[in-house]
Copies of this chain bind each other. A is one copy, B any other.
Amino acid sequence: MIRIGVAGLGTVGSSTLDLLMNHNARIAARAGADMAVTAVCSRDKSKDRGVDLSGVTWFDDPVALAASDDIDMYIELIGGADGVAKASVEAALSAGKKVITANKAMLAHHGAAMSKMAEQTDGASLHYEAAVAGGIPAIKALREGMTANEVSRVSGILNGTCNYILTEMEETGAAFDGVLADAQRLGYAEADPEADVGGFDAAHKLALLAAIAFGQEVDFDAVEITGIERVAAEDISFAGELGYRIRLLGVAEKTEAGVSQRMRPCLTPKNSPLGKIEGVTNAVMIEGDAIGSTMLIGPGAGGGPTASAVIADVVDAARGNTPPTFGLNSATGLSAPKPAAKGGDHGAFYLRLSLADRPGALAEIATVLGAEGVSIHRMRQYDHQGDSAPVAIVTHETGEANLSRAIDRIAALDVSLAPPVSMRIVSI
């Protein structure tokens, strides 16, 4: 009998209890072992979670639950990069328990140390399928399904809230603030939306995928992060006219300059695999030398899908399928991070400018771009809005540093009436 302790009984925790208690037999059969939830920890003991918790031991302290001799497996669903979530996971690993967590922030910041602890403590293991893309078995596919491959790129749409907002902005023409407010009302965005719309939640996930893909320690600090808050309705409309959609894309690549990790709103062709992903759906694309490319699409959040990922880990842990946390032994196999320098991207970019409505304005812009080695592939000037005329430019491939210099110079020109907006164009 495997005794399971669960800390954190919110949406995912409640769904996890539902599966483990109300659907125990089918999961035990898949695990080849009897299992039961024997202990839980949550602030609110009175809430109805749809399961009978009368025979279960309640803990007030997750760390005490995690270290308890009365459990074999610890499921951490508290959240937060530090604090009791981290303390409890460390306590459970130290005590040689199987740990299952959905906590992407914690692993993005402490995954390197925690993986060593998991692999160096007898009996311990660390599982986190639920931390990335909810119902999509992305960790398993990448860590166990792609072992033959030298992975060149892992990319995806990793935050359903952002993809929902961008999809809605495109469909309704509405501005970011209004769509966000609607999303909050519908439960698709948190009251404090910063972790989602700022790109941090998705960046945590990308850092975990990159660690597995490239066999290096998690390197969250190296992720270049831009949120979607500044994506304007006119960007979406101009992008649409040019044949693109705007998506918050995570792209981690291994290049000669090192590993780059970028989480940014990008323009992507409407018919590209990631451009077709709509609403709260997530997608993960894996590209490797043997496989070519494989994409996984599914629900990125929600109680059922995330709890499904938790249970997949429970069954793996019960069966003893405990590969190294990031695919390679964290002491002897994973390399130290080798990040590429930030700001060193190379490719085509979209640029939106607000130009003064006077002769020679466009010529000044073109001169600056030319001087910085940024060549224009397509350009559209739109109707005046008051004194200014919006201009949308698609560049040929160029260095991000060149573009940054050009943007700084353009921003300083009298003819530039608002800060230029730029986004990478990515065809994945």
Contact = CB atoms under 8 A, between A and B. Distances in A.
Contact of A312 (B27, B146, B276, B311): B146
A307 interface: yes
Given A30-B147, A32-B329, A147-B27, A135 B308 contact: no
Contact of A296 (B294, B305, B312): B294
Interface in A271-310: 273, 276, 288-299, 302, 304-305, 307-310
A337 interface: no
A99 to B, nearest CB: 18
> For A19, A273, A291, A305, which residue has the most chain B Cβ atoms within 10 angstroms?
A291
B141 A137 contact: yes
A308 B148 contact: yes
Contacts of A15: 290
Interface residues of A, number: 57
Given A23-B150, A30-B327, A323-B319, A292 B312 contact: no
A374 to B, nearest CB: 35
A288 B308 contact: yes
A249 B195 CA distance: 40
Contact of A308 (B291, B305, B320): B291
A291 to B, nearest CB: 4
A146 B307 CA distance: 11
B290 A19 contact: yes
A364 interface: no
Interface in A310-366: 310-312, 315-316, 319-321, 323-324, 327-329, 333
A144 B312 contact: yes
Contacts of A307: 148, 290
Contact of A321 (B146, B291, B311, B323): B323
Interface in A98-155: 129, 135-137, 140-141, 144-150
B19 A315 contact: no
A312 B306 CA distance: 25
A291 B291 CA distance: 26
Nearest to A329: B32
A56 interface: no
A148 B324 CA distance: 23
A296 B299 contact: no
Contacts of A302: 292
B136 A294 contact: yes
A29 interface: yes
Nearest to A306: B290
A26 interface: yes
B304 A292 contact: yes
A31 interface: yes
Given A140-B140, A146-B312, A148-B310, 7 more contacts: A29-B329, A129-B145, A137-B146, A149-B308, A290-B305, A320-B320, A321-B323
27 contacts: A19-B148, A19-B290, A23-B148, A27-B148, A30-B327, A30-B328, A135-B290, A137-B141, A137-B294, A140-B145, A144-B315, A144-B321, A147-B311, A147-B315, A148-B308, A148-B310, A149-B308, A273-B297, A276-B276, A290-B308, A291-B304, A291-B305, A291-B308, A292-B298, A293-B298, A293-B299, A296-B296
